[in-house]
């Protein structure tokens, strides 16, 4: 058995952080061979070819084949897993939505190339920003591919949220569960601790003992820290997150393929759940069951949470209107 994985922007930073972990089995496990297709624009081909040489030198037993191309039809031919990373990152002082005009145009043609060439059950994960709306554009351009095959990465936000809680509570991060991200991968996102647990106990209870006024701490400290973590990384590091983004991409795709034991977060095409307008790519609490993302339904949403979800969904609507105005939808 082998899986064909297409990585766009493979010559870039996140591409470089992804390729070697995929070849080492971190995505699909140690029993699954992989065939890699590296899609770049002509300016990035040299970097992707260099990475391909290094992949060869890694002598990875699981790696069957590597191909570097600037032709989307070749890159997506028979593709099982498409990781759409190739896009410009933001710089200091920018919001991710500021990238719509620069990056949106990449995703329509790639969606069409996926529809024309990829495996019928292809799974697409959009990482390039603004990820939710780029995924919307790709899905809308992929005639014949069910929209459920298109997702946007918000797992990095969830990982950040769990890590912040673990640090505050001084507990191992894997004891913190059920911290879904709602809405957009942007500063309006809502990391939701309402249903979160730490070692099986409600996070609210555990937090109270440490921070006192939990709602005030969520508003003033936790939510902004998580929602603006991408900007914090850019400020401190000088460029946007790379290894943590690659790591979250692997988490997302691994769970999609192999299933989740519990809830996680992913940007999926809304079917109207929780009042989110149909068709928007919105992050929800999700579970992967039988290889499909399913929104966790029936959760109680307080008025306080509802306001935050609505604000992020309003931004997704604005982004959709903006790409319509740009002729990208
Ligand atoms: P980078 O500039 O290092 O790499 C981007 C690569 O994409 C470049 O090599 C470029 O040549 C290539 N590229 C551009 N247009 C392309 C196209 N049409 N087809 C194929 N390749 C193309 O950037 P990076 O640090 O790797 O980040 C990539 C994207 O991921 C950015 O948009 C960034 O904002 C986003 N990102 C998203 C998340 C998330 O959680 N969703 C996290 C981190 C970064
Ligand atoms: C992140 O969350 O780190 C990425 O989306 C990069 C960015 O622009 O914040």
Same domain assignment for residues 6 and 88 = yes
User: What is the pLDDT, as a whole number, of residue 149?
Assistant: 98
Q: Whose CA is nearest to atom 2 of ligand 2?
A: 230
Same domain assignment for residues 251 and 295 = yes
Q: How far is the CA of 12 from the centre of ligand 1 (A)?
A: 6
Q: pLDDT digit string (tens) for 65-86?
A: 999 999 999 999 999 999 999 9
Global pTM value: 0.98
User: What is the pLDDT, as a whole number, of residue 1?
Assistant: 77
Q: pLDDT digit string (tens) for 98-153?
A: 899 889 899 999 999 999 999 999 999 999 999 999 999 999 999 999 999 999 99
Distance CA 308, CA 318 (A): 16
Q: How far is the CA of 168 from the centre of ligand 2 (A)?
A: 22
Same domain assignment for residues 159 and 308 = yes
Residue 249 located in a structural domain: yes
Question: Residues enclosing ligand 1, CB less than 6 A?
Answer: 8-9, 11-15, 39-41, 43-44, 47, 85-90, 106, 127-129, 131, 153, 156, 185, 240-242, 245
Residue 170 — φ and ψ, nearest 5°? Answer: 55, 50
Same domain assignment for residues 130 and 174 = no
Interval 20-48 mean pLDDT: 98
Residue 219 located in a structural domain: yes
Nearest alpha-carbon partner for 281 in 305, 239, 316: 316
Number of domains in the chain: 2
Q: How far is the CA of 241 from the centre of ligand 2 (A)?
A: 6
- Strand, coil or helix: 283: strand
Same domain assignment for residues 78 and 175 = no
Interval 269-289 mean pLDDT: 98
How distant, in Å, are the alpha carbons of 35, 153, 292 from that of 249? 18, 7, 16
Residue 2 has pLDDT above 90, yes or no: yes
Same domain assignment for residues 24 and 129 = yes
Q: Ligand 1, closest atom to CA 106?
A: 18
Same domain assignment for residues 227 and 179 = yes
Same domain assignment for residues 148 and 235 = no
User: What is the pLDDT, as a whole number, of residue 91?
Assistant: 87
User: What is the pLDDT, as a whole number, of residue 155?
Assistant: 98
Tell me which residues are annotated as active site: 185
Interval 205-234 mean pLDDT: 97
In the predicted model, what is the mean pLDDT of the chain? 97
């Amino acid at each position: 058995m082998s899986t064909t994985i297409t990585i766009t922007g493979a010559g870039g930073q996140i591409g470089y952080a992804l390729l070697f972990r995929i070849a080492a089995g971190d995505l699909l496990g140690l029993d699954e061979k992989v065939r890699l297709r590296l899609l770049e624009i002509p300016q990035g081909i040299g970097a992707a070819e260099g990475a391909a040489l290094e992949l060869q030198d890694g002598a990875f037993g699981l790696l069957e084949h590597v191909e570097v191309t600037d032709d989307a039809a070749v890159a997506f031919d028979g593709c099982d897993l498409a990781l759409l990373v190739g896009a410009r990152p933001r710089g200091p002082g920018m919001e991710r939505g500021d990238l719509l005009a620069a990056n949106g145009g990449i995703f329509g043609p790639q969606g069409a190339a996926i529809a024309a060439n990829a495996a019928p059950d292809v799974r697409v994960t959009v990482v390039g920003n603004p990820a939710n709306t780029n995924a919307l554009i790709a899905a809308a351009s992929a005639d014949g591919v069910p929209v459920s095959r298109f997702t946007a990465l918000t797992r990095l936000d969830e990982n950040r949220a769990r890590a912040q809680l673990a640090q505050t509570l001084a507990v191992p991060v894997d004891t913190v569960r059920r911290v879904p991200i709602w809405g957009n991968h942007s500063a309006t996102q809502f990391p939701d601790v309402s249903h979160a647990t730490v070692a099986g106990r409600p996070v609210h209870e555990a937090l109270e003992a440490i921070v006192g006024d939990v709602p005030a701490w969520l508003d003033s400290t936790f939510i902004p820290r998580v929602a603006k973590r991408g900007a914090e990384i850019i400020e401190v590091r000088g460029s946007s997150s790379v290894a943590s983004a690659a790591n979250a991409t692997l988490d997302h795709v691994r769970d999609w393929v192999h299933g989740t034991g519990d809830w996680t977060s992913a940007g999926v095409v809304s079917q109207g759940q929780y009042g989110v307008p149909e068709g928007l790519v919105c992050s929800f609490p999700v579970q992967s069951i039988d290889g499909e993302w399913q929104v966790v339904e029936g959760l109680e949403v307080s008025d306080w949470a509802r306001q935050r979800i609505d604000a992020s969904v309003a931004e997704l609507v604005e982004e959709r209107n903006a790409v319509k105005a740009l002729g990208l939808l």
